[in-house]
Amino acid sequence: MKKKPSIQRHETLEQILHRTRETVVADIEKQLGRELDPRKIDVAMDTGDWAALELSEAVDHRILEMRYKTYKEIADAFRRLEAGTYGACERCGEEIPVERLTVEPFARYCVPCLNQIEALEEVEKGDGKSHSF
């Protein structure tokens, strides 16, 4: 049976999530608020300029997708916080250290369990190296 986190730990975890969400939302708003500089769109732009502009827009779109994914992970972490399961490893049930959650606020596993999971995934997919004798 998992123990409920202390009030102090709960408040600390909530603060971590709030700070992270604020940062991600600000990044998304900044990204969405970027307007194409009219000086970049010039009748004299050649094919290479247009290709570079399209590539830049594709990169911006990918960055926005990654930030939105992070936002959804934070929203899920808030749901787990309300349910009393946030900050507990989903594999072993032990508390994930606050230091780890500060670095990766939506972490679901403690480092030892994450290492075991990643090792199992590597074994399952093989090492991908060609062995020639």
Band of pLDDT at residue 63, cut at 50, 70 and 90: confident
Mean pLDDT of 78-92: 93
Phi-psi region of 6 (alpha: psi -120 to 50; beta: other; left: phi over 0): beta
Which pLDDT score, from 0 to 100, does residue 1 have? 42
- CA 44 to chain CA centroid, nearest Å: 40
Domain range 7-125, CATH architecture = Up-down Bundle (1.20)
Residue located via tokens 């926005």: 64
Q: Of 106, 98, 100, which is closest to residue 5 (Cα–Cα)?
A: 98
Task: Give me the residue spans of the domains in the chain.
Answer: 7-125
Tokens of 28: 């998304």
* Rounded Cα gap, residues 100 and 104, in angstroms: 6
> pLDDT tens digit string along 111-133?
999 999 999 999 988 755 544 44
Which pLDDT score, from 0 to 100, does residue 58 have? 78
Class of residue 31 by CB neighbours under 10 A (exposed 0-12, middle 13-18, buried 19+)? middle
- CA 2 to chain CA centroid, nearest Å: 26
* Rounded Cα gap, residues 24 and 89, in angstroms: 24
**b/e string for 87-99 if b means 16 or more Cβ within 10 A?**
bbbeeeeebbeee
